[in-house]
Structure 1
Amino acid sequence: MKPFRTAALALCLAAPAAAGVDEAIDRHVLPGLAAFAAATETLAQNAEADCRPEALQPAFQAAFDAWMRVADLRLGPSETGALSIAFWPDARGFTPRTLSGLIADQDPVARDAAAYAEVSIAARGLFALEMLLYDEAFAGYDAESYTCALVTTVARDLDGQADALVTVWAQDYADTLRSAGEPGNATFLTEDEAIRALYTQILSGLQFTADQRLGAPMGTLDRPRPARAEARRSARSLRNVVLAAEAAHDLAAALAEGLTDGDLPQTAAAMERVRAAAQAVDDPAFQDVTDPQARLHAEVLQQAVRGLRDAIGAELGAPLGIAPGFNSQDGD
């Protein structure tokens, strides 16, 4: 194990913290963003060749898979960039309303990918594409239709967003994290601030998965809300839960590689429990949570996700000097 020491009120991890940041960026963040950009490029190219739903759905699924590796990074450029890539939750239905308005007006912006960057975020990104490709109210279009052109433009716009996110991370923000504590770095005044920021992403992502990806469709026992499941139209709600958990686990392992030689047996076991609990869920879109037995399976999965969060806190957070009661929502 690499040397480090803890203090009650502050982390003191100068050299190991830098190593942990490097591992997180080089093994997880930058490769994940690059894979997402490659997947969106394929999606845009496929849309230009054939923008009909049946032709484009496989590339859409691949792009969404790639996104989930970095979806819960809300740090630096990703904090704002993720909003238009994945506008969810959308409890008020802004996405269908905005898309319906564009189609009803035959708005020419649908044929201009550059101008489309100024459109409401509700009509951009993965969830706008999901609506157009899978929802019965939109997906019946043909190859010569306005909606088909709109799909192509949304795919191009998404590819542009992915490229921009990769660029700003690779050319700027990665160095901001790596240079934490150096003169001139006003974002991270100490090295421990950078490692704490990345650690926070892990915990907050898992909390979001438990509370929103699972909690939103589960609702309450008396009032389940299956219509609020993430990506239910494309039947990937369950898949997103598992991929988000795996992404958090991978980022934790990358940090641990630099800080504790990567030995996180409790975390690995907790991740296996998440996968096992997911296998017991029958409906990949969580539309069966109105059934008591199906709801129980969802609750077990939710508990497993929270267990993964707790395991990471014990094995990675504790060595960092971060107490088990650390609140990932406010950084305390």
Structure 2
Amino acid sequence: MKHRLTLCAVLAAGPLCGPLHAGVPEALSEQILPSFMAFAEATGTLAEAAEQDCTAASLRDPWNHAFDRWNALADIHIGPSETGALPVAFWPDSRGFTPKTLSRFIASEDPVGTDPAAFADASIAVRGLYPLEFMLYDEEFSGYAQGSYACTLVQTMTRDLARQAAALETGWTESFANVLLTAGEEGNATYLAEDEAMRALFTQVVSGLEFTADTRLGRPLGSFERPRPTRAEAWRSGRSLRNVLRDAEGAYALAKALADWEMPVTDAAMEQLREVASRVEDPSFQQVGDPSERLHVEIVQQQVRALKDAIEAELGAPLGIAAGFNSADGD
């Protein structure tokens, strides 16, 4: 009953919140909704900081704090996040659209970059966390002065990010959380069976860990003969390893909230991931061409996969979702 009352209060849904389905209320009240709230608060702080001082050095700390809050949500792609996550975090940008589009905006002083309302329709290549990383850390972009067009562009970008975060929080708390809670009920056209909400959240956990292993780690690792360090996520800000760990922590926390039983193998796998990550000397993955450093990063990749396997066995199996289930199927 405690979780029901807490979640209903968060959702402002009135006295009837729908029947409880094991794990789903806990996942919402303990992990998902607080994380969206924290991200909205952090991006609001970032936007306020940019209004006071837009220069790169002054915004790095609040930007990193906002990115930390995003990590708990980065791999959730259902409900409002199915489309809403992409303009917050457009990565990987395989064709380099972000620096090209930023350069064009700044060179032409595109008026869209000074108009927050119009900027909501701008290319995703200039919206969200990753274009801001260029503006705050890349030598080509970060030397702008207070009062310049680039300064105003950064202020517009941070305000747009805060607006997106607020919209995601509203969409989850005022609508989609209740869709998950009422899975299988009459009128719920999204989840027709009671267990579909649990399976949908389980999918987010597994697919997120797959993405971390295959993309966040696999892209910079490339091959032994041809490592690709500049394909690492957020390498300019040195966040590559930080994102791997924090995204894995988010998946782990969501899995723990979904289970109302102990998961000792999963707990041990997460602890081992933290331990092997501590051996990586370069958190930006720019030294993966060095054989010893490459080995450390490969071990982190192996441990992310071990965490996924543990969650599939200790959470998926009791839910009737077989190990080896393809998370890309979305069921």
TM bucket (normalised to shorter chain) is over 0.9
**Distance (whole Å) between structure 2 residues aligned to residue 152 and residue 89 of structure 1:** 24
Match of 1:292 in 2: 291
Match of 2:57 in 1: 54
Letter in 2 for 1:324: A
**Distance (whole Å) between structure 2 residues aligned to residue 220 and residue 16 of structure 1:** 50
Say whether residues 1:92 and 2:102 are aligned partners.
no
Match of 1:109 in 2: 112
**Distance (whole Å) between structure 2 residues aligned to residue 229 and residue 325 of structure 1:** 27
**Alpha-carbon shift at residue 79 of structure 1 (Å):** 1.2
Match of 2:11 in 1: none
Match of 1:12 in 2: none
Match of 1:5 in 2: none
Give a deviation string over 1:275-297, Cα, whole Å, max 9, x none: 01110101110000011111100
Match of 2:264 in 1: 265
**Distance (whole Å) between structure 2 residues aligned to residue 181 and residue 134 of structure 1:** 48
Match of 2:128 in 1: 125
**Alpha-carbon shift at residue 19 of structure 1 (Å):** 2.5
Match of 1:144 in 2: 147
SS in 1 for 2:237: coil
**Distance (whole Å) between structure 2 residues aligned to residue 196 and residue 217 of structure 1:** 31
Letter in 2 for 1:176: V
SS in 2 for 1:18: coil
Match of 1:29 in 2: 32
**Alpha-carbon shift at residue 330 of structure 1 (Å):** 1.2
**Distance (whole Å) between structure 1 residues aligned to residue 85 and residue 290 of structure 2:** 33
After superposing on structure 2, the runs of 4+ consecutive aligned residues of structure 1 that deviate more than 3 Å are none
Match of 1:304 in 2: 303
**Distance (whole Å) between structure 2 residues aligned to residue 138 and residue 331 of structure 1:** 39
**Distance (whole Å) between structure 2 residues aligned to residue 294 and residue 91 of structure 1:** 24
Give a deviation string over 1:107-164, Cα, whole Å, max 9, x none: 1112111110010001000001001110011001110111011001000000000000
**Distance (whole Å) between structure 1 residues aligned to residue 216 and residue 32 of structure 2:** 22
Structure-to-structure mapping, 1:115-194, within 5 angstroms: 115-194=118-197
Q: TM-score, normalised by structure 1?
A: 0.93
Letter in 2 for 1:205: G
Match of 1:232 in 2: 235
SS in 2 for 1:83: coil
Contact 1:180 1:190 in 2 (8 A): yes
Contact 1:224 1:290 in 2 (8 A): yes
Q: TM-score, normalised by structure 2?
A: 0.93
**Alpha-carbon shift at residue 16 of structure 1 (Å):** 10
Say whether residues 1:77 and 2:80 are aligned partners.
yes
Aligned-residue CA RMSD (Å): 1.2
Match of 1:275 in 2: 274
**Distance (whole Å) between structure 2 residues aligned to residue 325 and residue 226 of structure 1:** 30
Letter in 2 for 1:272: E
**Distance (whole Å) between structure 2 residues aligned to residue 311 and residue 69 of structure 1:** 19
Match of 1:9 in 2: none
Identify the structure with bigger relative contact order (alpha carbons < 8 Å, sequence gap 6+).
Answer: 1
Give a deviation string over 1:250-279, Cα, whole Å, max 9, x none: 00010013xx3xx11111100011101110
Contact 2:20 2:181 in 1 (8 A): no
Mind listing any 5+ residue stretches in structure 1 that lack a counterpart? 1-14
**Distance (whole Å) between structure 1 residues aligned to residue 328 and residue 288 of structure 2:** 27
Which of 205, 208, 227 is matched with 1:205 structurally? 208
Contact 2:19 2:181 in 1 (8 A): no
Q: Aligned in 2, Cα 1:16/1:221: closer, same or farther, shift over 3 Å? A: farther
**Percent of paired sites with the same residue:** 60
**Distance (whole Å) between structure 2 residues aligned to residue 169 and residue 255 of structure 1:** 17
Contact 2:35 2:73 in 1 (8 A): yes
**Residues matched between the structures, number:** 314
**Alpha-carbon shift at residue 91 of structure 1 (Å):** 1.3
Match of 1:321 in 2: 320
Contact 1:17 1:192 in 2 (8 A): no
**Alpha-carbon shift at residue 20 of structure 1 (Å):** 1.0
